[in-house]
Structure 1
């Protein structure tokens, strides 16, 4: 088998594991990891005693002086993960991991991750059985909308909110011209859409930060990542976005990835010149309504809440944590005070 054939085979296994696992983690496909920056330094498929694939790892290297730490790659948002075979016993997975202890190293990192995920809990159990201790750094709460429940309630959005949104639209139209919203997936996402999203980021509060902010489309490297994902047809169909135009000006956008019944919002922003009339909220409500009509059950809205998430019906959900897997009790004890401090 040639090196290229081996890579193709490994990619197919990554994709098969992602497809067979929980639907809300189905985006953990090979390309999700392969086009990351930095690119994976090593990747491998851990197999059980019979040779069947049970977990796939793509590891990047982080250097701190003379020290090198391996960590699971892939995009930071909505979380990082390892595609794991469904129903694999922790004991079988632990032996598979032990066979790759040199690939993983004495210390390896996986994060951010959402607590309570069955695949993650199985990986943690197996890792402990294989000799790693697991240190957890708290990052905060993920805010979520139970969209299925809210959509079934005729009182959401409230009459007051609907009236306020109609008022917002009228004022935005008076302020800048006709409103127009386009919705798209990664399959029909155009360079013009991405240019508009970058313009909105530049005109948002992020664009006014000295370091340029954590932008998803104004940052050329991050933009290339999303574009490269679209070369995987399955991932392209999962990506979603929308842009609201006010006259000729792109004013607000949403962007994320849909996996199963969960819609993960990775970014939403708006042009600050329209702040008074809330184009971001108008667009989000439109996006939520569209998602509910297409059967989305839950909105996962990322870490923390500046106030507007809870006002729109979101509630604190699972904890987000950053995990460090450490072999050796003494080393784990030495690292614990540093790693487990709250950020």
Structure 2
């Protein structure tokens, strides 16, 4: 009788990788997003479709499969003069622009991705995106091995509120803070009946978005700017969020806390909940009630509700750091814009323009020793 061969006599073959690029948004995007890091599972077909609907562009999707299963899906749109062969990742700036990557994707997946990307574009713009983003790290590791030029420019610092750490130190929010809030709520109630409610999932409809837009039209953003940066008005980015909410998975992640005074919307906080992480995307209030801090009252109620729902960290993103630090937020990972330029003459030109690209961004503020490197947030891998 022939003895069976020992296992160590067999050669383990590397997994079969293949890359393909198709016109439009590939259905594989959702399959990859479902197995991405929990913080990135909103990067679904519906998310990118909403961006194309709101901001325009004709997409192509580059997909890498391993043993027949999609492990990364990279939607791209042409950008800039056609002769330059530039592509960018479509999407929304809030909370960031990236693409889905399965958590078990290795550098070999990134190398396969870049090999096919070189056939499709001279350079890819990724961002603004956080340091440590899975898609970013995959491309950086592969680019270093394959001779791609990698350019970055600083956009802003993020700010993170580590609720779990604050609660470990004692009761948070403090009872004294909640008492002050109740005092302000009592006086705010002098303007009319107060109604606090939350919106998510199937609750997202035109009326829900109209309420957020109504607050923005009364807020400082309408009084001091041209309104193009408003998140929910027709003149701003309202088209994107309404379209994104058509995806029921994304709609479940979208979250708003809304305050009404005598039935009229007076303040809101709008977030995207990704597992134990809450992305705080926008908040605003009617200045007619500003004396009683309606925005502050609302986001504390929102945070308390988030704790009840299992939220452990709030990512406040970029922007005004004053009120965020008062709450307890600390500087987190930097947000940057990246260019990946294929080997050869394009990479040579890219390296020559690295300084100009970096100067086109913002100046990065120094990190104090007490703050550390800013790489302890949920997006980082350092």
Q: TM-score, normalised by structure 2?
A: 0.81
| Contact preservation (8 Å) 2:114, 2:139 | no
Alignment partner, residue 339 of structure 1 = 357
Deviation at 1:34, TM superposition (A): 1.5
Alignment partner, residue 41 of structure 1 = 58
Deviation at 1:196, TM superposition (A): 1.6
CA distance change for structure 1 residues 53 and 45 in 2, over 3 Å: closer, same or farther?
farther
| Contact preservation (8 Å) 1:110, 1:323 | yes
SS at match of 1:295: coil
Mapped to 1, the partners of 2:188 and 2:173 lie a distance apart of: 20
Moved more, 120-129 or 249-258: 120-129
| Contact preservation (8 Å) 1:48, 1:96 | no
Q: Does 1:301 align with 2:316?
A: yes
- Choose from 261, 273, 289 the match for 1:274: 289
Alignment partner, residue 136 of structure 1 = 152
| Contact preservation (8 Å) 2:255, 2:270 | yes
Alignment partner, residue 206 of structure 2 = 191
Mapped to 2, the partners of 1:269 and 1:44 lie a distance apart of: 36
Once the two structures are superposed, what CA deviation does each residue of 1:85-125 show, in whole Å capped at 9, x if it has no partner?
A: 3222212420232023122x112100011112344312221
Which 5+ residue runs of structure 1 have no aligned equivalent?
1-5
Alignment partner, residue 239 of structure 2 = 224
Alignment partner, residue 252 of structure 2 = 237
| Contact preservation (8 Å) 2:25, 2:61 | no
Which 5+ residue runs of structure 2 have no aligned equivalent?
1-21, 363-382
Alignment partner, residue 209 of structure 1 = 224
Deviation at 1:66, TM superposition (A): 6.7
Alignment partner, residue 196 of structure 2 = 181
| Contact preservation (8 Å) 1:91, 1:129 | no
Once the two structures are superposed, what CA deviation does each residue of 1:284-316 show, in whole Å capped at 9, x if it has no partner?
A: 000000000010111011103341111111111
- Choose from 35, 42, 52 the match for 1:27: 42
Alignment partner, residue 3 of structure 1 = none
RMSD: 2.3
CA distance change for structure 1 residues 295 and 334 in 2, over 3 Å: closer, same or farther?
same
SS at match of 2:315: strand
Mapped to 1, the partners of 2:216 and 2:25 lie a distance apart of: 39
Alignment partner, residue 100 of structure 1 = 117
Mapped to 1, the partners of 2:201 and 2:241 lie a distance apart of: 9
CA distance change for structure 1 residues 295 and 318 in 2, over 3 Å: closer, same or farther?
same
Deviation at 1:143, TM superposition (A): 0.7
- Choose from 154, 173, 179 the match for 1:157: 173
Mapped to 1, the partners of 2:43 and 2:82 lie a distance apart of: 31
Alignment partner, residue 84 of structure 1 = 101
- Choose from 74, 80, 94 the match for 1:57: 74
| Contact preservation (8 Å) 2:149, 2:340 | yes
Mapped to 2, the partners of 1:50 and 1:210 lie a distance apart of: 52
SS at match of 1:340: helix
Say how many residue pairs are matched: 335
Once the two structures are superposed, what CA deviation does each residue of 1:182-209 show, in whole Å capped at 9, x if it has no partner?
A: 1010421232222221111011110113
Q: Does 1:14 align with 2:29?
A: yes
**Which of the two has higher C-alpha Rg?**
2
Mapped to 1, the partners of 2:204 and 2:112 lie a distance apart of: 43
Mapped to 1, the partners of 2:23 and 2:338 lie a distance apart of: 28
Moved more, 109-118 or 64-73: 64-73
| Contact preservation (8 Å) 1:49, 1:96 | no
Mapped to 1, the partners of 2:113 and 2:158 lie a distance apart of: 31
Q: TM-score, normalised by structure 1?
A: 0.90
Q: Does 1:283 align with 2:298?
A: yes
CA distance change for structure 1 residues 7 and 290 in 2, over 3 Å: closer, same or farther?
farther
Mapped to 1, the partners of 2:73 and 2:257 lie a distance apart of: 33
| Contact preservation (8 Å) 2:23, 2:61 | no
Mapped to 2, the partners of 1:40 and 1:193 lie a distance apart of: 28
| Contact preservation (8 Å) 1:33, 1:40 | no
